Structure 1
Amino acid sequence: MGGNPELRAVMADMGLTRAALARLVNRELVALGCPGTLTVRTVGTWLAGQSRWPQGRIRTALERALNRTPEQLGFIPPRTTRPQAPPEEPVRRRNFLAASAAAAVPSTGAFRGRTVGHSDVDRLKESLKTLTALDDHRGGHGSLETAALAGADQALGKVDKTISEGVQRRLYSLAADYTATAGFSCIDDRRLDDAERHFGTALRLSGLGDDHVTALRVFNCLSMVGYQRNRPSVTLSAARAAQDSRAARRDPLLASLAHARAAIAHSTTGNRQASLRCLGHASDALGRADSRERPAWTDFYGQAELFALSAVVHQHLDNSPESESASHRALAGIPAQFRRNRASATARLALAQLGQGELEQATATATGVYALMGTDPLPPRLRTLLGDFHRGLITLAPTSAVTREWTDRVHAQGEHQ
């Protein structure tokens, strides 16, 4: 006899081991008033195809445990149990009986609506990738936040519809990732109170899902919130939490990101030595990174993004030439689909050029931010960077023609957004 691929596939989708399935069936047997005596060995005979049709009460308990008929689980009823139509039965009556029997058997899709497995989590995960791609292209905004929170609600709404602890953990993890995406959108939208609220929820959900990668993401984002609030101690504390996380210890790429964030935190206090040391750690860790599968939100990070973060560090350390060099190297490597990040690196380049007194070149570079973002509104975080550039330009050359042209361009751009 062959094996039972149908049962094996259902168990894999629902995240069930042989022992877990035996426990579920025994629980149903007890609920039916029978002894729960099913063994792991019996489950093994089912999977091997050695037992083609479980005994009556066990069959009923199995059907209740998995919300699928025995036939949907790959079992084949004995011939003696199959209704035999008399040879002389009219064709019309045979067709009617066949149609009635088919209608009485719930479809696999009907059962899947009540029992959630890994395939359902995978479908929700694909939707999250779409939101991440939208954030990379346009930046954070209210609609993205709303969609991300709706995705988290969908994941949490399925927790009670699964019988596998593994699937439940994946759903909590996915809800955490969706919620962190909503929080990151709020950072871009400069709604920092909402961002912190979402990150608190995401951190709790990541704990329920045993998801150390999303926990690191939350600490990284909380460091960004502290940076935007101009609170150096919060910025550094959150960065250190990311550095010390289990995810950073296990994955050099994530460790590199945490070190880079810590470098920015140190640079805000003017601690040059600590900043450069963290940048060195970030570069070393990135050199050890492999190509393992990671969540979609990590796709932005690589050598080019490390150059972009280095540009921020050098800007805080009043090293404009080094910041300009790092910005150029970042823009040479940031892929086109990360449009928001390219625009941010362009704004940093303009600030570095302004810091060296290159007014005309700096304004030409800053104008490129608007060209990159096209007709989409600038995310408030990006507008803040350009606001820093505008104030710096006015401070350096308040009456110059370059400043007047830039001011006119900014006003015109604002009228079109």
Structure 2
Amino acid sequence: MASPPASSGVPAARRPNTAFRHLRGPLSPGEFAAAVRRAARDIGEQVSCDARYIGRVESGEIRCPNYAYERVFRHMFPGRSLGDMGFSPRETVRGRKGRGAPPPEYEPADTDEESDVLRRAFMTGGPAAMAASLGLGPARPHHRPGESEAAAVEEAVRRIRVLDDRHGADGLYRRAAQPLRNAYALLDAGTRRQSTADRLHAGAGELAISVGWLAHDSGRLADARSHYAEALATSRVAGDPALEAHAFCNSAFLARDAGRPREAIRAAQAGQRAAAPLSSHRLQSLLALREAGGWAGLGDRRSCEASLLRAHSFFGRGTSDADPEWMSFYGEAELEGLEAQCWSALGQWKRAADHARRAVALQNPHFARNTALFTAELAGNLARGGAPEEAAHAGQRVLALLEQVQSSRIRAILDSTAQVLRPHAHTAPVAAFLDRHGR
């Protein structure tokens, strides 16, 4: 039974959602949030549900969930409508059409529709528009940030990740600098509660890593190194091992791409030490893969294979509620793709192509950028492994994906593949690829 409609004198956003509270049953908000995350994984959806979110729903602050949460809730409670779960109809909550951001009682959606709106603001509006679209404006003078500001920083991180997953980094990096500055200004303003300070430290650090990744993927490696160092310093100040492990993980990836394999190994090993108390097997798996990439860069096949074995062993232990939110991208497809990169660095082209092919087949369509990346790497491995026509067909698929994904890294891989294929330009598939690539 849905919650009764609000009277004229009581804001709907503050009327408790008793129907949803009934659905939670005897579970605590934290336990119910964990059940929501498990249900999301079951259907391949991505939500960052925690006890705080459940509290916002039950208090009536969130009158209608975003589309991702709606799909998860419908999966958990088959046959129930949003109204049955105590939510208001979406069209009555979203507010006046075309009047800008949705009202605060509407939970922002990470959907294609919402992503397109955000992308237009990010790509055409400049840094200020980007910050505003994320709800992350500058710190107010003489105002101590609280829970709402911490939540805004966390939401900024999520939305930047969604945009990068779907559209790549090139158009986002410059515009992401302002939200990052705003986040650190909030941190510098000081807070009255330690819990809020902890959230702001974690959020600002994660935002620094996200912006660093945008720099990394758009070929600005020195900028990326600076942002990752900033995140690492933030983690040390806050005593946050999860943030520290994340910063080291990205730093290892960057060092490998920058041609510093020994640094990649050291960073990955430091990340594994930081992650030890976190009880996340998937995080340890990813960090072992980062180490494997460093060993491959050194040409040390034995050490690379040992790290790959650890990565697969940790991965096989499955997911858990201890897995960090930012690791939503790390599934079997990513495992295969990163292993392909190791074999490619070792010059094992056929083996690399086999893993890259599996990575493409397993990739969730949501991650358009990763689909383009793994397909580009497949094309390169095939070209170097003596299969030019198959490489050309894969290259054509990448060119189609690059109509929606902007990534200098992927384009560089494709440019290199085109150079390898030029001696085979007499074959029709290769000629067609080279012609389209050169336009």
TM-score, normalised to structure 1, is 0.66
Residue type of the alignment partner of 1:235? A
Report whether the alignment pairs 1:393 with 2:421.
yes
Q: Work out which of the residue numbers 251, 273, 276 in structure 1 matches 2:302.
A: 273
Instruction: Look up the match of 1:380.
Output: 408
- Superposed displacement of residue 123, structure 1: 3.5
Alignment of 1:122-161 (within 5 A): 122-141=151-170, 143-147=172-176, 149-151=178-180, 153-154=182-183, 156-157=185-186, 160-161=189-190
3-state DSSP of counterpart to 1:121? helix
CA shift in 2, pair 1:229/1:151, >3 Å: closer
Instruction: Determine the C-alpha separation between the residues in 1 that align with 2:181 and 2:327.
Output: 19
Residue type of the alignment partner of 2:410? L
Contact 1:149 1:178 in 2 (8 A): no
Instruction: Look up the match of 1:9.
Output: none
Instruction: Look up the match of 2:253.
Output: 224
Larger radius of gyration: 1
Task: Map Cα deviations across residues 334-362 of structure 1 (whole Å, 9 max, x no partner).
Answer: 11111111111101111222233111111
> Matched residue pairs, number?
301
Instruction: Determine the C-alpha separation between the residues in 2 that align with 1:318 and 1:143.
Output: 33
Report whether the alignment pairs 1:315 with 2:344.
yes
Q: Unaligned regions of 5+ residues in structure 2, if any?
A: 1-50, 53-141
Contact 1:131 1:144 in 2 (8 A): no
- Superposed displacement of residue 268, structure 1: 1.3
Task: Map Cα deviations across residues 122-173 of structure 1 (whole Å, 9 max, x no partner).
Answer: 2431232111100111111353453355145235415535211221121111
CA shift in 2, pair 1:128/1:149, >3 Å: same
Contact 2:275 2:284 in 1 (8 A): no
CA shift in 2, pair 1:155/1:230, >3 Å: closer
Instruction: Look up the match of 2:435.
Output: 408
Report whether the alignment pairs 1:324 with 2:353.
yes
Contact 2:280 2:320 in 1 (8 A): no
Residue type of the alignment partner of 1:266? W
- Superposed displacement of residue 239, structure 1: 1.9
Instruction: Determine the C-alpha separation between the residues in 1 that align with 2:254 and 2:149.
Output: 33
Instruction: Look up the match of 2:230.
Output: 201
Residue type of the alignment partner of 2:186? G
Q: Work out which of the residue numbers 217, 220, 223 in structure 2 matches 1:191.
A: 220
Instruction: Determine the C-alpha separation between the residues in 2 that align with 1:208 and 1:317.
Output: 38
Q: Unaligned regions of 5+ residues in structure 1, if any?
A: 1-11, 14-112, 413-417
Task: Map Cα deviations across residues 64-90 of structure 1 (whole Å, 9 max, x no partner).
Answer: xxxxxxxxxxxxxxxxxxxxxxxxxxx
Contact 2:280 2:323 in 1 (8 A): no
Instruction: Determine the C-alpha separation between the residues in 1 that align with 2:403 and 2:329.
Output: 21
Residue type of the alignment partner of 1:216? A
Instruction: Determine the C-alpha separation between the residues in 1 that align with 2:211 and 2:158.
Output: 13
Instruction: Determine the C-alpha separation between the residues in 1 that align with 2:404 and 2:261.
Output: 35
Alignment of 1:14-413 (within 5 A): 114=143, 116-141=145-170, 143-147=172-176, 149-151=178-180, 153-154=182-183, 156-157=185-186, 160-246=189-275, 250-292=279-321, 294-376=323-405, 378-394=406-422, 396-397=423-424, 402-412=429-439
3-state DSSP of counterpart to 1:245? helix
Contact 1:132 1:296 in 2 (8 A): no
Instruction: Determine the C-alpha separation between the residues in 2 that align with 1:224 and 1:245.
Output: 16
CA shift in 2, pair 1:247/1:300, >3 Å: farther
Contact 2:217 2:409 in 1 (8 A): yes
Percent identity of paired positions between Structure 1 and Structure 2: 27
* Greater helix proportion: 1
Instruction: Determine the C-alpha separation between the residues in 2 that align with 1:296 and 1:253.
Output: 11
Instruction: Determine the C-alpha separation between the residues in 2 that align with 1:364 and 1:140.
Output: 25
CA shift in 2, pair 1:177/1:152, >3 Å: farther
Instruction: Determine the C-alpha separation between the residues in 2 that align with 1:141 and 1:296.
Output: 23
CA shift in 2, pair 1:145/1:205, >3 Å: farther
CA shift in 2, pair 1:154/1:236, >3 Å: closer
Instruction: Look up the match of 1:8.
Output: none
TM-score, normalised to structure 2, is 0.63
- Superposed displacement of residue 402, structure 1: 4.8
Instruction: Determine the C-alpha separation between the residues in 2 that align with 1:301 and 1:333.
Output: 12
Contact 1:199 1:218 in 2 (8 A): yes
3-state DSSP of counterpart to 2:169? coil
Task: Map Cα deviations across residues 158-207 of structure 1 (whole Å, 9 max, x no partner).
Answer: 55352112211211111111111111100001011111111111111122
